[in-house]
């Protein structure tokens, strides 16, 4: 059985380096054969919106989300409640994701061997 890793993104796109570190971690783990799932909850949902990183002198790490499919990272989940609380919907997101309620999110997380939460 493959080792499974869940990475939870909780922070806004340019709060520290959590967003970039998450992308780097996803790609590194997938390179070494781990089955990786990515979760966006709380303010982490803002990472999935169109960004203007040059305005805050940051790197545009969200472009790297497009590489996930080349690394067989297909399990990308977004918390419905987090979207709703921020006035967002699936159509606002820049990549294809599965929108899940809190019960389903917790169920999915419980299926992973390792869970890392970045905030």
pLDDT digits (tens, 9 = 90+) for 10-43: 998 877 778 889 999 999 999 999 999 999 999 9
Query: What total number of domains does the chain contain?
Result: 1
Amino acid 55: pLDDT:
52
Find the domain containing 81 and state its range.
4-118
Amino acid 66: pLDDT:
82
CATH number, position 13: 3.40.1260.10
pLDDT in tens, 59-105: 556 677 888 989 999 999 999 999 999 999 999 998 999 999 999 99
Taking the C-alpha atoms of residue 94 and residue 92, their distance in angstroms, rounded to an integer, is 7
Q: Above 60 in pLDDT, residue 56?
A: no
Residue 87, token pair as written in the block: 């006035």
Taking the C-alpha atoms of residue 105 and residue 78, their distance in angstroms, rounded to an integer, is 8
Taking the C-alpha atoms of residue 87 and residue 73, their distance in angstroms, rounded to an integer, is 27
């Amino acid at each position: 059985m493959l080792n499974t890793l869940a990475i939870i993104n909780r922070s806004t796109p340019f709060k520290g380096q959590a967003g970039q570190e998450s992308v780097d971690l996803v790609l590194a783990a997938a390179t070494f054969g781990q089955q990786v799932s990515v979760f966006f909850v709380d303010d982490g949902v803002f990472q999935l919106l169109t960004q203007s990183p040059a305005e805050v002198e940051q790197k545009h790490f969200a472009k790297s989300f497009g590489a996930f499919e080349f690394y067989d990272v297909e399990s990308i989940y977004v918390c419905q409640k987090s979207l709703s609380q921020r006035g967002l919907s699936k159509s606002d997101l820049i990549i294809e994701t599965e929108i899940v309620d809190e019960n389903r999110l917790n169920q999915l997380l419980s299926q992973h061997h390792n869970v890392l939460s970045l905030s």
